[in-house]
């Protein structure tokens, strides 16, 4: 009996094992079949999609006729730091002893001039009746006395001329007599997003017809390349850009220009993963002006501004609750904004478009023509208000950014206050006639840190007007300096709003 039971158990176990094996094998077969179907479906989709390499090739075909190499010849005088072994002995021996012989000095012992030949790229954006118009960088053609344009098909043009340059944006326009050219098309750089694929065209190291690809790695970059008065709102890309690519187009996958390549971030001089391009929407506007006028006249408000996000305490002191916007720190005398804007105003939009920071406002105003009306939404004294200001023309080296910051309940804040005399008002070129005049500021004090300077005339403390030093001192004595105090001052530049606050 026991043997029969044992045999039954063994048989049952065997049957279960076989069933389990069959079941597992069936399950695996089903899973494999599903995976195979998924792969086949994906392959069919890939077969239906355009090949990425094909897309690159097609964009290359579209852009090739429009991209040019630019060789610019400029007359340059050697400076002392460019001269080899420049010392009095060398200068005397090679410059004075052998007139006409030295390659470095003329007969008077002065540095010689020489022709410098630089190369860059450009893109044809318009062609009419045998005239072609090329966009490139200002630094490619700066000071050029002669230009040579080489097309992708091998033609070389010697009759090109510079129509206009704009150092503040690093853009330039060239006109050349060329038949049978196909201009490129402008795209909309405002539609670019981080991660979008792009291609860079040009003639790096003189190799015309070169193209690279990558993506938009960042937008609205300021790289400090164009100096204090330059306008930078760069597209950052990892599409390789090398020396000689300057002035060439950055192109989207539809073959449209979305930027003009202008610079690289590099320690070695070669590409290291970060390149910069001027947005096409900016370049297109500047191109139109340079082509017709030869120079760019920029709109100008005449205000000193800063980001609300960077000066949140100052902005909060006005009652403004928002996170973004532009704080008016000062209004320049005899500027379009005088009498229309006040220190302490917060600008929130321009012409119906929100402005998030000072850079954005500065760029937008600069692209507007002088004489046009700028419609501003501002926050003042707890209320939203509108202001319409007719823009002036920006002076040559006019900065609209916040000046360097440096900031007492008189002595306690680190400043000396006096009643101004007529001579003092004249000395400091002050337009206001009443207030507390700052005649000295202690270095490192709260006043110095906030930007108070000798010659500032304090006309209001918080919301209280003051007409002399005693009134200002009394008003300052009532404030909690840890919470901060707003000062409205008049100086040689106009009116300004300063915020003083002790460390908490």
Helices within 323-421 (DSSP H only):
358-366
> Out of 71, 169, 246, 335, which one is annotated catalytic?
246
Give kind and range of the element (H or E) at residue 389: strand 383-390
Handedness of CA 299, 374, 352, 256 (dihedral sign): negative
Give kind and range of the element (H or E) at residue 36: helix 2-48
The phi and psi torsions of 414 (rounded to 5 degrees) equal 100, 25
> Out of 170, 233, 238, 456, which one is annotated catalytic?
170
Give catalytic status of residue 170 as yes or no.
yes
Return the half-sphere exposure (C-beta side, CA atoms, 13 A cut-off) of residue 263: 20
**Pairing between strand 185-186 and 256-264?**
parallel
The answer to whether 148 and 134 are in contact (CB under 8 A) is: no
> Rounded CA gap, 423 and 414, in Å?
24
The answer to whether 494 and 340 are in contact (CB under 8 A) is: no
How far from the centroid of its chain's Cα atoms is residue 383's Cα? 32
Give catalytic status of residue 456 as yes or no.
no
Give catalytic status of residue 139 as yes or no.
yes
> Out of 139, 345, 349, 456, which one is annotated catalytic?
139
DSSP 117-142: EEEEEEEEEEEETTEEEEEE-HHHHT
Handedness of CA 363, 366, 367, 373 (dihedral sign): positive
> Rounded CA gap, 262 and 286, in Å?
15
Catalytic residues: 139, 170, 246
């Amino acid at each position: 009996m026991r043997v029969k039971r044992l045999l039954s158990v063994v048989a049952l176990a065997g049957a279960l094992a076989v069933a389990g094996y069959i079941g597992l094998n069936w399950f695996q077969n089903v899973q494999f079949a599903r995976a195979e179907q998924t792969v086949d479906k994906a392959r069919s989709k890939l077969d239906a999609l355009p090949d990425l390499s094909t897309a690159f090739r097609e964009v290359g075909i579209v852009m090739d006729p429009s991209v040019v190499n630019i060789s610019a010849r400029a007359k340059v005088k050697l400076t002392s730091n460019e001269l080899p072994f420049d010392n009095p002995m060398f200068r005397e021996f090679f410059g004075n002893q052998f007139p006409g012989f030295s390659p470095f000095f003329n007969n008077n012992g002065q540095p010689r001039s020489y022709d410098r030949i630089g190369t860059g790229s450009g893109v044809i954006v318009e062609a009419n009746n045998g005239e072609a118009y090329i966009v490139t960088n200002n630094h490619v053609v700066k000071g050029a006395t002669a230009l040579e344009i080489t097309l992708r098909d091998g033609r070389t043009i010697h009759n090109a001329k510079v129509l206009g340059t704009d150092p503040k944006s690093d853009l330039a326009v060239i006109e050349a007599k060329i038949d049978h050219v196909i201009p490129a098309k402008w795209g909309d750089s405002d539609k670019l997003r981080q991660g979008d694929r792009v291609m860079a065209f040009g003639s790096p190291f003189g190799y015309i017809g070169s193209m690279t690809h990558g993506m938009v790695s960042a937008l609205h970059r300021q790289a400090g390349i164009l100096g204090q008065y330059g306008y930078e709102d760069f597209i950052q890309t990892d599409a390789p850009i090398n020396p000689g690519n300057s002035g060439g187009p950055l192109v989207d996958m539809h073959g449209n220009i979305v930027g003009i390549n202008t610079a690289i971030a590099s320690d070695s001089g070669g590409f290291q993963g970060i390149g910069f391009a001027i947005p096409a929407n900016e370049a297109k506007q500047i191109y139109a002006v340079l082509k017709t006028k030869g120079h760019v006249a920029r709109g100008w408000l005449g205000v000193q501004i800063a980001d609300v996000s960077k000066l949140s305490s100052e902005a909060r002191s006005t009652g403004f609750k928002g996170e973004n916007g532009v704080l008016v720190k000062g209004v320049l005398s005899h500027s379009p904004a005088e009498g229309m804007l006040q220190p302490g105003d917060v600008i929130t939009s321009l012409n119906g478009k929100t402005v998030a920071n000072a850079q954005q406002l500065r760029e937008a105003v600069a692209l507007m023509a002088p004489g046009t009306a700028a419609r501003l939404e501002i926050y003042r004294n707890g209320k939203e208000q509108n202001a319409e200001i007719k823009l002036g023309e920006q002076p040559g080296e006019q900065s609209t950014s916040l000046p360097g910051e440096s900031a007492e309940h008189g002595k306690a804040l680190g400043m000396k206050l006096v009643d101004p005399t007529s001579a003092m008002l004249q000395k400091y070129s002050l337009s206001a006639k009443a207030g507390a005049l700052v005649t000295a500021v202690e270095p490192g004090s709260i006043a110095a840190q906030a930007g108070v300077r000798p010659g500032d005339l304090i006309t209001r403390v918080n919301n209280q007007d003051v007409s002399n030093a005693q009134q200002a001192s009394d008003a300052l004595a009532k404030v909690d300096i840890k919470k901060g105090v707003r000062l409205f001052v008049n100086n040689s530049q106009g009116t300004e709003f300063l915020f003083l606050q002790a460390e908490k």
